[in-house]
Amino acid sequence: MKITVIQGPNINMLGKREQNIYGMMSMEDIHTQMKIVAEQNGVEIDFFQSNFEGEIVDKIQECLGDSDGIIINPAAYTHTSVAIRDAISAVGLPAIEVHISNLARREEFRQKSLISQVVAGQIMGFGPVSYHLAMIGMLQIFEQIKVVSAAQQTNEE
């Protein structure tokens, strides 16, 4: 199984920007921790970050046939990108939306996610631990897929 982690604009600035909101961990630190969890669970993991909407859409589309699930922090595009929403919907892969801060406690314009309706779930407000929780969630989704596939094979026999 393979998870692709997609990071949106300014996530590459974690640890430097607004530490009172986003904490002191860098994106690389978060990715290192996610890689450890993936290795412990026999899952391949790939990381991608872009400040450009079209590159994020391209990466989501590349996941079709290459990945089994997506963990995405669309960052500021959460609130504005119909294109990213449509790409997630189009590939049909399990996806989890992650945010370091709790969007419900942020400015009004940040409280609406265009992405939330096309993902399996949202995890937010736990700081960098949100990514760890998303990993646990995706691993559980993979387990459910295995169980359903095994049951379908049994029924076909």
Give the start-to-end residue ranges of the domains of the chain: 2-156
CA 155 to CA 157: how far, in whole Å?
5
| 86 labelled ligand-binding | yes
| 79 labelled ligand-binding | yes
Q: Is the entire prediction scored with pTM above 0.75?
A: yes
Q: Is 31 known to be catalytic?
A: no
Q: Is 22 known to be catalytic?
A: yes
Give me the phi and psi of 140, to 5 degrees please.
-65, -40
| 136 labelled ligand-binding | no
May I ask the CATH architecture of the domain 2-156? 3-Layer(aba) Sandwich (3.40)
**Any idea what DSSP says for residue 155?**
H
Q: What is the pLDDT of residues 70-93, one digit of tens each?
A: 999 999 999 999 999 999 999 999
How many whole angstroms from its chain centre is CA 99? 9
| 130 labelled ligand-binding | no
Of 22, 77, 131, 132, the active-site residue reads 22
3-state secondary structure 92-136: CCCEEEEECCCHHHCCHHHCCCCCHHHCCEEEECCCCHHHHHHHH
Q: What is the pLDDT of residues 20-61, one digit of tens each?
A: 777 778 999 999 999 999 999 999 999 999 999 999 999 999
